[in-house]
A and B are shown apart, each in its own frame.
Chain A
Amino acid sequence: MTVDNETHAFIELRNVSKHFGDFVAVDSVNLRIEKGELFSILGGSGCGKTTLLRMLAGFEEPTSGRIFLDGVDITDQPPYERPVNMMFQSYAIFPHMTVEKNIAYGLHKDRLPKDEIEDRVGNMLKLVKMESLAKRKPDQLSGGQRQRVALARSLVKNPKVLLLDEPLAALDKKLREHTQFELMNIQDKLGITFVVVTHDQEEAMILSTRIAVMEKGRFEQIGKPKVVYEYPENRFVADFIGTINTFDGVVQDAQSGRVIIASDESGASLYALSDSPPAKGSAVCVAVRPEKIYISQNRPDNSEDVCLPGVIEDLGYFGNISLYRVRLETGKIVLVSAQNRQRTIDRTLEWDDEIFISWRPRSTVILAE
């Protein structure tokens, strides 16, 4: 990556670490987020993503490193002085205040004139479509409504950055999908930089302009959702985002971008395309996503493709897709998913059918170990 270190990014973390006793929650992390981005930090529980967010908000002090916002070093600023607001995972709606008072709280702390507070609260209520519930107490609201109040409350101060900790985790599936798009709309409308922490890869993929995949206090990969999905840089990222089949092998030949890999696991040569192919004889890991694989009863005649014979060991019908577990002759299990394009209740492929799986060389990813 080529980044000009002279021009400052909107948010910049320089070698930020956080230790809790012996435990290293965040391990000397560098990060640059541009203005207006919807940036997601994705990782499993305990990977350090929430600690990172809390350092941005000012609730945790970095053990070392500096945090800059819009060119200003905010590392030592307490949370109540940072132009950053946070939407908490529990929403943290003050239970003894009405919806209106909750949203107005931050403005009161800024000692704004009364009319302006009323104005801005009114606008926010409109933005999150909660005008009719302004006088309600939090315990009279549904989960989705509470989420809107929390969002409005953290946006009303016009923060430079909005931090969102698992913003959708507390909602049920249908509401989550709906709210995702609403969040994106609001972000688009206001142009505020969003930093989202989530463990839900689907949520991160849909929402974000860029994703940082985090593990054990470090970033494994930072990039656009498509890039992270289609071109994972290592096995962890490939595994963590979506499902993927991997084969260990050795590079046999690499000519004009076309790499041939021999693998004991596949039983036949695998092909991949690469601009910077690994050296001949080096051990690599080759990966392919289940939806990139074709499944057919007859051997396809395109010799460019990877083609392996196998037996259907198990299959699952999901409505929109069908998932197959295919056992290769080597014993290796490969997952294949296929769109159910035709409406039919007769299955063409059954348990124990002998079939062929095949995929294009450009669908193959070579992973760094």
Chain B
Amino acid sequence: MSEQINKQLSEAWQRFILALPYTWLLIFFLAPFAIILKISVADPILAQPPFTPSFGDAGELQISADNYVFLLTDKLYAITYLKSVMMAAIATLFCLAIGFPIAYGIARSTPGTRNILLLLIVLPFWISFLLRVYAWMGLLNNYGVINNFLMWLGVIEQPIPMMYTDFAIYIGLVYSYLPFMILPLYATLERMNLDLVEAAQDLGATPAQAFWNITWPLARPGVIAGSLLVFIPATGEYVIPYLLGGPDSLLIGRVLFDEFFINRDWPLASSVAVVLLVLVVVPIVILQRNQARDAEQAT
């Protein structure tokens, strides 16, 4: 009998400690999304808080899809969403193009060098995101380091306007998110057996063929993980377009921010967030599946 009690005790104890993070996340992560959903179907009013309650005085349900209808029919919003996704996608491709050879180079270097190279990739990640974006403001300015340098060289006479353009946003995105691409790529490439490539070459493949037939397919989990880790946050990015982009660079993260804080239209901001969530939920699910499969294979 005492054994049964013991077993139940240890299970109860497990449940108890699990309840701590569980409750926390239910209250502070899941519940907020329910509230966003609720507010996104309300109408804005001049009050505190500035939206209509879900139930009227008589207890009748008062919700409307007006915000969503507006988002889907308003051309500006469609363009904003499209542009956000496209810029994030292009930045992801650039990160992949730059990150892959770097990750490959790190994975193929001697263990001593490898540690230092990895440290140097991780280091900027620990240094403030905001300051890293800020650093580019000093470089891209009309009278910034790059233009000054080019003019000093005599390559150009007038400064090239780079700041407050889409180009600056791309630079900012690629710069900030490059480590997120390199680290998962490195992890898969490092695990890959180098003999495979040598075996392929031994069997007559050229280095290029060996890359396409062996390295690239085996690196796919890393490519998927890295791409999604760049794409998902880049889609909703707020700081980079705000600091580096022009006033007309309407990206969704910034629009959401402005809609909420400047126009004080909480219901519309909420529906903007819901639509953005729908856009990124698919990549998030793919990412988690990919990670789970990767973890299974590793064990």
| A–B contact, 8 Å CB criterion (strictly below) | yes
A residues with a Cβ closer than 8 A to B are: 76-78, 81
Q: Is residue B73 within 8 Å, beta carbon to beta carbon, of the partner chain?
A: no
Q: Is residue B4 within 8 Å, beta carbon to beta carbon, of the partner chain?
A: yes
Give the docked Cα–Cα distance between A113 and B203 (Å): 68
Which B residues touch A77, using CB under 8 A? 3
Q: Is residue B7 within 8 Å, beta carbon to beta carbon, of the partner chain?
A: yes
Q: Is residue B6 within 8 Å, beta carbon to beta carbon, of the partner chain?
A: yes
Report whether over half of chain B's contact residues are helix, strand or loop; otherwise say mixed: helix
Give the docked Cα–Cα distance between A77 and B5 (Å): 11
Residue of A nearest to B1 (CB): A76
Most chain A CB inside 10 Å of its own CB: which residue of B3, B4, B6, B10? B3
Give the docked Cα–Cα distance between A78 and B6 (Å): 8
Give the docked Cα–Cα distance between A78 and B10 (Å): 11
Which A residues touch B4, using CB under 8 A? 76
Give the docked Cα–Cα distance between A81 and B4 (Å): 12
Residue of B nearest to A77 (CB): B3
Residue of B nearest to A80 (CB): B6
Residue of A nearest to B6 (CB): A78
- Report the minimum CB–CB distance from B12 to chain A (whole Å): 14
Size of chain B's interface in residues, with CB distance under 8 A?
5
B residues with a Cβ closer than 8 A to A are: 3-4, 6-7, 10
- Report the minimum CB–CB distance from A55 to chain B (whole Å): 15
- Report the minimum CB–CB distance from B3 to chain A (whole Å): 5
Residue of A nearest to B2 (CB): A81
Which A residues touch B6, using CB under 8 A? 78, 81
- 10 examples of A-B residue contacts, CB within 8 angstroms: A76-B3, A76-B4, A76-B7, A77-B3, A78-B3, A78-B6, A78-B7, A78-B10, A81-B3, A81-B6
Give the docked Cα–Cα distance between A81 and B7 (Å): 11
Residue of B nearest to A58 (CB): B3
Give the docked Cα–Cα distance between A76 and B6 (Å): 10
Q: A78-B10, A81-B6 are in contact. List 8 more A-B contacts (CB 8 A).
A: A76-B3, A76-B4, A76-B7, A77-B3, A78-B3, A78-B6, A78-B7, A81-B3
Residue of B nearest to A74 (CB): B3
Residue of B nearest to A76 (CB): B3
Give the docked Cα–Cα distance between A163 and B225 (Å): 44
- Report the minimum CB–CB distance from B17 to chain A (whole Å): 19
- Report the minimum CB–CB distance from A67 to chain B (whole Å): 13
- Report the minimum CB–CB distance from B6 to chain A (whole Å): 6
Which A residues touch B3, using CB under 8 A? 76-78, 81
Give the docked Cα–Cα distance between A78 and B9 (Å): 12
- Report the minimum CB–CB distance from B9 to chain A (whole Å): 10
Give the docked Cα–Cα distance between A74 and B6 (Å): 14
Give the docked Cα–Cα distance between A76 and B4 (Å): 7
- Report the minimum CB–CB distance from A82 to chain B (whole Å): 10
Which B residues touch A76, using CB under 8 A? 3-4, 7
Residue of B nearest to A61 (CB): B7
Give the docked Cα–Cα distance between A78 and B7 (Å): 7
Give the docked Cα–Cα distance between A112 and B3 (Å): 22
Give the docked Cα–Cα distance between A319 and B262 (Å): 91
Give the docked Cα–Cα distance between A211 and B4 (Å): 34
Residue of B nearest to A81 (CB): B3
- Report the minimum CB–CB distance from A311 to chain B (whole Å): 40
Which B residues touch A81, using CB under 8 A? 3, 6
Which B residues touch A78, using CB under 8 A? 3, 6-7, 10
Which A residues touch B10, using CB under 8 A? 78
Give the docked Cα–Cα distance between A77 and B45 (Å): 65
- Report the minimum CB–CB distance from A62 to chain B (whole Å): 14
Residue of A nearest to B7 (CB): A78
Give the docked Cα–Cα distance between A7 and B28 (Å): 63
- Report the minimum CB–CB distance from B158 to chain A (whole Å): 65
- Report the minimum CB–CB distance from B4 to chain A (whole Å): 7
The 10 closest A-B pairs by CB, nearest first: A76-B3, A77-B3, A78-B6, A78-B3, A78-B7, A76-B4, A81-B3, A81-B6, A76-B7, A78-B10
- Report the minimum CB–CB distance from B94 to chain A (whole Å): 44
- Report the minimum CB–CB distance from B271 to chain A (whole Å): 45
Residue of A nearest to B4 (CB): A76
Residue of A nearest to B3 (CB): A76
- Report the minimum CB–CB distance from B11 to chain A (whole Å): 11
- Report the minimum CB–CB distance from A87 to chain B (whole Å): 24
Residue of B nearest to A82 (CB): B3
Residue of A nearest to B10 (CB): A78
- Report the minimum CB–CB distance from A80 to chain B (whole Å): 9
Give the docked Cα–Cα distance between A77 and B4 (Å): 8
- Report the minimum CB–CB distance from A91 to chain B (whole Å): 20
- Report the minimum CB–CB distance from B13 to chain A (whole Å): 13
Give the docked Cα–Cα distance between A78 and B4 (Å): 9
- Report the minimum CB–CB distance from A138 to chain B (whole Å): 23
Give the docked Cα–Cα distance between A76 and B7 (Å): 9
Give the docked Cα–Cα distance between A27 and B6 (Å): 28
Give the docked Cα–Cα distance between A77 and B6 (Å): 9
Give the docked Cα–Cα distance between A81 and B10 (Å): 14
Which A residues touch B7, using CB under 8 A? 76, 78
- Report the minimum CB–CB distance from B2 to chain A (whole Å): 8
Give the docked Cα–Cα distance between A341 and B52 (Å): 102
Give the docked Cα–Cα distance between A343 and B157 (Å): 96
- Report the minimum CB–CB distance from B299 to chain A (whole Å): 15
Give the docked Cα–Cα distance between A81 and B3 (Å): 9
Give the docked Cα–Cα distance between A233 and B272 (Å): 76
- Report the minimum CB–CB distance from B8 to chain A (whole Å): 11
Give the docked Cα–Cα distance between A166 and B198 (Å): 37
Give the docked Cα–Cα distance between A78 and B11 (Å): 13
Give the docked Cα–Cα distance between A78 and B2 (Å): 10
